Structure 1
Amino acid sequence: MGRPCTFGIEEEYLLVALDSGRVLSAPSAALTRLCREVLGACFAEEMFRSQIELASPVFDTLHQARAFLTEQRQRLSQALAGEGAGLYCAASHPSAQWLRQHPRATPHFRQLFDDYRLVARRSLLNGLHVHVGVPPGLDRMQVINRVLYWLPLLLALSTSSPYWGGQDTGYMSYRRVVCGEWPHMGLPEPLPDWSAYERYRALLQRTGTLAEDGDFWWAIRPSRRFPTVELRICDGCPRLEDALAIAGLFRHLVEHAQGRHTGTASREMRWITQENYWRALRHGRQGVFIGIEEQQPVSAEAWLAQLQVQCPADSADAERAFMGAWRILREGTSADHQRELLAAAIAEGEDKAGALHRVVKLVVSETGGVVLHR
């Protein structure tokens, strides 16, 4: 294994009304200012006026990350509660009317909506992004190739978007279905090294496909702003402990990849990763996947066990991350809990709207400890 890596976490949140649970399509300028004041330098705007991002400082340990994110979630949730608003961190809102949402009017986001139209308008989604620092001189594309196979497992651990437009989509991560409508937002291109990445990027820029300062939005990518690899495949996690387990596992994978010297994944492994990706977004932790050992069908539990064999824990943080992942597989993801709650509410006589409201109430409570008014 290489030396311990620093890391950072980005979480996206929707702003919802505490009385109705609805997404605030046009929150006031004062409410946005309040978010900015509470989060300070960690505040970032997102595509919609109803959405914000918390971008953490650089961490050395999961303990630091837990303390910081717990405090920021609680402070922001309490401040917003005073204005009748709450934070919603799951990857999709079960009944949001996305066409009624107001795009952010800054030039960057205006350009996105002009370029991608209805695809951008539909993307009322929250993701969990994790940056892990890569030491100078280490080829970040090679690191990405070495950890790529395990990304669908991290998605399966994070799923939180089973509902869309008031309907059960049949997917545990409908967010990743919507992401598939965007260019350069699936698995990264099979580029063997940094030189190939630069040639690929130059080709797209030369042909007018990618702006000079344009980004790829791959499920994992080399950051343009930081010397990191960035995990982007995961749904937002209302329960902070889930997000920390995933961040810890991803950091551990990147640290383990520093000591290996293989190039790009084989074509066959790319096929398997793509298939596992679809199974993860469709079935989540309940899926049957293609394992790395003899390429046989495995459960999510057996797949995680294979990861422990391939990349054994060698630090207290890695141990905690594996323990968190086992807990998720045992207890369920947010998507599992949302479905269980909706089924229970309907069994108790709630109508569909009331049952979906209970789902929103659960997510808001898990995100920041604030409860909807009804």
Structure 2
Amino acid sequence: MSLPPFQSAGLLTLGIELELMLLDPQTLELSAGALNLLDLMRMHADKRFFFCPEITQTMIEYNSGVHGRWHELLDELRAMRRYLLPLADECGLRISGGGTHAFRYWNDQEFFPKERYLDLGEKYGYLSKQFTVFGMHVHIGVGGDGDRAIELIRSVSPWIPLLIALSVASPFQDGFDTGFACSRLHSLTSFPYAGAMPPFADWAECRDYVDGLTGLGIVGSIKDFYWDIRPKSEFGTVEFRIFDTPLTVEIAAGLAGLVQLLCAYYLARPAPSPVYDVYPYNRFQACRYGLAGDMVDPWTGVRAGYLDMAKQLLDRLTPLAREFDAGKVLHVYREKLEPGLSQADHQRVVAADGGLSRLMRWQADCFASGAVASDGAAQTR
């Protein structure tokens, strides 16, 4: 199957896909409730919100609408949360954000009964069940231009590790602290064609590459490329795939707004190709240490901490804030950088105080309330 033509999409529009975990309210373990929950949603037939299954039955995915500004997305996400939580309660479920469940085991997972997911299970074996991790994908419209999409990916890719450091929320897996601020991405890098997208010169080169591997039967479609950032021609977007699912929809909308500003900046002033191949190092540092890590500037070779680099990036994006009504986004991130605490840091504080079951209950409380507190109490905004 050839890549579809690059579709027209509004320039710098944004939308997200949000993978959410389903929890048993008593045990706080993952609960295979996706079929029941999705059936209940079909009965309600509320066309405002679009939910779909994911690879295993302990997760669902929410697909947002297309928006021009981050606060419009936030309004939708809050309305979605008000819709979702009572339905989940009716099904005997709680909803949680976070990139991983702290004590899920891959062999306990059941595939959702959909042909694509069953095929992935046959193809990738136990790796497919280890794929029960939870991420957020941000889509940015590029105005229907495939060459512009490739140029944008090339320009923003050096900043992908910094975005990872700002969003880490998966320090625990299989009942243990992994030592990583983001362990979720390692569940993806085991798959073929994961990590950084090759440095294509233009859309034609990308299309020929994907079509060539599709023709060989190695991949079925662009969906089988687990790149950190990839073009989505059927949507007319560039898709950022590196975020752990945030603990709240408020954080989700803010991250999407930050990505929109980053894309606006580099669409106006494309960056030259990096001088140094430091992406793997920077990515590892972000996953391992989050904001406490450091990165090497791919153009100058200068090493700096992620906190300092984040402050520099926010300053660079500030002139765009008024145009995109995103002053609050930058203000919130500047406030976060002062203590330098990530979502993963908060998760570790809660787990140290109350254990992993308490952590999962707290994560569900955070999602329901819309706010994060490191003392283990989710406060409603």
Q: What TM-score, normalized to structure 2?
A: 0.87
Deviation at residue 19 of structure 1 after TM alignment = 1.4
Kept in 2: contact 1:291–1:303 (CA 8 A): no
5 Å matches for 1:195-234?
Answer: 195-211=204-220, 214-234=223-243
Deviation at residue 267 of structure 1 after TM alignment = 5.3
Kept in 2: contact 1:9–1:56 (CA 8 A): yes
Look up the SS of the partner of 1:10 in the other structure.
strand
Identity %: 26
The aligned residue for residue 72 of structure 2 is 64
Deviation at residue 38 of structure 1 after TM alignment = 7.1
* 1:330/1:292 CA distance change after superposition, 3 Å: farther
Which residue identity lines up with residue 75 of structure 1 in the other structure?
Answer: Y
Look up the SS of the partner of 1:231 in the other structure.
strand
Kept in 2: contact 1:300–1:329 (CA 8 A): no
Cα shift readout 1:192-238 (whole Å, capped 9, x = no counterpart): 21121012112212322122565422111101420000110111101
Distance 2:156 2:45 in 1: 36
Instruction: Determine which of 246, 266, 278 is the counterpart of 2:274.
Output: 266
The aligned residue for residue 83 of structure 1 is 91
Instruction: Determine which of 29, 35, 38 is the counterpart of 1:32.
Output: 38
Which residue identity lines up with residue 343 of structure 2 in the other structure?
Answer: S
Distance 1:296 1:213 in 2: 35
Q: Does 1:320 align with 2:344?
A: no
Deviation at residue 22 of structure 1 after TM alignment = 1.0
Which residue identity lines up with residue 259 of structure 1 in the other structure?
Answer: A
The aligned residue for residue 16 of structure 1 is 23
Kept in 1: contact 2:274–2:298 (CA 8 A): no
Distance 1:163 1:77 in 2: 25
Which residue identity lines up with residue 162 of structure 2 in the other structure?
Answer: L
Which residue identity lines up with residue 186 of structure 2 in the other structure?
Answer: V
The aligned residue for residue 276 of structure 1 is 282
Q: Does 1:95 align with 2:103?
A: yes
Kept in 2: contact 1:38–1:75 (CA 8 A): no
Distance 2:45 2:152 in 1: 36
Q: CA RMSD in A?
A: 2.3
5 Å matches for 1:339-354?
Answer: 339-345=348-354
Unmatched segments (≥5 aa) in structure 1: 346-354
Look up the SS of the partner of 1:234 in the other structure.
strand
Cα shift readout 1:16-46 (whole Å, capped 9, x = no counterpart): 111111111x327433312454764511111
Distance 1:291 1:335 in 2: 24
* 1:160/1:73 CA distance change after superposition, 3 Å: same
Distance 2:100 2:142 in 1: 31
* 1:39/1:325 CA distance change after superposition, 3 Å: farther
Q: Does 1:166 align with 2:172?
A: no
Look up the SS of the partner of 1:22 in the other structure.
coil
Unmatched segments (≥5 aa) in structure 2: 1-9, 371-376
Kept in 2: contact 1:242–1:328 (CA 8 A): no
Distance 1:360 1:89 in 2: 9
The aligned residue for residue 352 of structure 1 is none
Which residue identity lines up with residue 261 of structure 2 in the other structure?
Answer: H
Distance 2:313 2:53 in 1: 36
* 1:90/1:35 CA distance change after superposition, 3 Å: farther
Deviation at residue 73 of structure 1 after TM alignment = 1.5
Aligned residue pairs, count: 357
